[in-house]
Amino acid sequence: MAYIMVDIESDGPIPGDYSMISFGAVLVSDKLDKTFYGKLKPISEKFIPEALAVSGHTREETLGFEEPKQVMSDFKAWIKEVCTARPIFISDNNGFDWMFICWYFHHFIDENPFGFSSQNLGSLFKGIERDTFKTFKHLRKTKHTHNPVDDARGNAEALLTIKEQYGLKIKF
């Protein structure tokens, strides 16, 4: 299996009514040197200014981003290029990140190379610690900046640390 750590930024709470503004992906490996960054033109007139502000982009900037169909096609090609095994989607908040990535894949290119499931890094760590109040965020090395590639890399670093320090049985 090939684990792909993903982080997205959006201008609202759900896909379709609102837009995914950008996303980053990192192939989880010892080097963390294979990354993808996509910036997507909005698909809706609706946006929540406070949500958009988290991305660090203005509405005017986002209107100049790439067409979502092209970005999702490029992401699919990148996944195929970097994965020698079945790609596994994992993120810090897969309920949110997966919702956008899955919807955009199916809406714009009629398929999702990740299939129909995702994994949640936070839940994995809580299970390892056997404590629902624990968080993995102290295991990140890369600062959480809301640049989705930085955030995905930090989460991938945390997963590598969990493997090393906690003996997580996982193959990359």
**What are 146's two structure tokens?**
């809301």
Catalytic residue status for 146? yes
Using one digit for the tens of pLDDT, what is the confidence trace for 13-54?
A: 999 999 999 999 999 999 999 999 999 999 999 999 999 999
Q: Give which of 12, 2, 3, 5 is closest to 103, Cα–Cα.
A: 12
- Where in 50-121 does DSSP place strands (E)? 87-91, 119-120
Structural domain spans, the chain: 2-166
Catalytic residue among 57, 106, 138, 146: 146
Q: What's the pLDDT score for residue 172?
A: 86
Show the 3-state SS of 2-20. EEEEEEEEECCCCECCECE
Q: Give which of 67, 151, 82, 79 is closest to 115, Cα–Cα.
A: 79
Q: Pseudo-torsion of CA 10, 13, 15, 20, nearest 10°?
A: 0
Give the residue carrying structure tokens 């890094």.
121
Q: Which pLDDT band holds residue 91 (cuts at 50, 70, 90)?
A: very high
CATH of 2-166, one of 3.40.50.2000, 3.90.76.10, 3.30.420.10, 3.40.50.720: 3.30.420.10
